[in-house]
Structure 1
Amino acid sequence: MNPRGNAHTLVQARRRDSLDKRQRALTALTTLEQQGKKITHTAVARTAGVSTWLTYTEGIREHIEAAQRRQQQSVPRPVPARNPGATLRTELELARQEIRALREERDQMRQALQHQLGQQLDDLSATALSGRVDELRCHNQRLADQLRQTTDENTVLKARVVSLDQDLAAARTSLRRMIRSENTAH
């Protein structure tokens, strides 16, 4: 056995293993960045299945730091509200504009509906309207005839009531005379 051959083979194996781990770390870094996950040395080490120590070594650390800077630049920072009153005034003005727009839309819809109803009335044919007018005239004539007949019957009945009242009054008078004459005779 050649001791030098075994050492050389071990060095080569370690070098291949180190290159493989570095490549896995860089691949993990790319994957995390594409997924939009937070990039940290620990996250890269876990994803790649390597030690955290490796992520701090030269050649890996620079790539992680660059990815962190890119991530910080791409994350939009919330803009602090400088003047809450100004925001409320802006929202109020937007609400007022929306109300004006809604009122205008309502008025336009109302006007369109009026035009549509007018058009429907205009579309009714003259014959349909004439037919309806004739129908109403006939109905009115029937009602007038019924009224005349009922008035005539009422007049006849009133005359009969007057006649019966007179007959009743005459019968009472005659009955009184009879009762008096009977009473005086006895």
Structure 2
Amino acid sequence: MNSRRKPAEVLAESRRQDSRAKRQRVLATVDQMLAQGDPVTFAAVARTARVSNWLVYADGVREHIEKARGQQASRPAQERLTRATTSSSSIRTDLELARAEIQALRQERDQLKGVVQRSLGQQLEQVASKDLVTRIDELTRHKHELTARLNQVQGENSELQRRLRESEDDVAAVRSNLRRMIRSGVQAEVS
């Protein structure tokens, strides 16, 4: 076997290694741009990774860039804008507005809570105690029926589990007998 490689093989291997290194650099650049929140475009990736525009459109690389672009597109536009343009005074203003809105919502919630409580109180007063006793009796009877059904199903389940264990034991015995029969049949043929 010839251990020396031809110059063309050496050159081809060198090109393959260079291509793999560039592709890995492009993928790492895309991940870094995603992590930093930089907009991922084909041109920006090629420029940042210092590779040709052709490479970023190549199979295996293009899909990774398109996936990253999709992830960025799914982020709210407000999140992308606030990262770049938010100042401390605007944050304070937003905080004060949010606090005022929270306070207004709490007041509205308390008012609605009071309305609901009054409405429920009126409904309870309208329901006669006789209706409540009848409903309680119905629910108690239904509970007893469900409990009896549960006990019956649990008993059936126990019986089925017992029968399953018996069947498994029978299958194991049949297998054991079959093995013995096969062994004795093989030994009889050998003799």
Does TM, scored on the shorter chain, surpass 0.5? no
Higher radius of gyration, 1 or 2: 1
Structure 1 length-normalised TM: 0.40
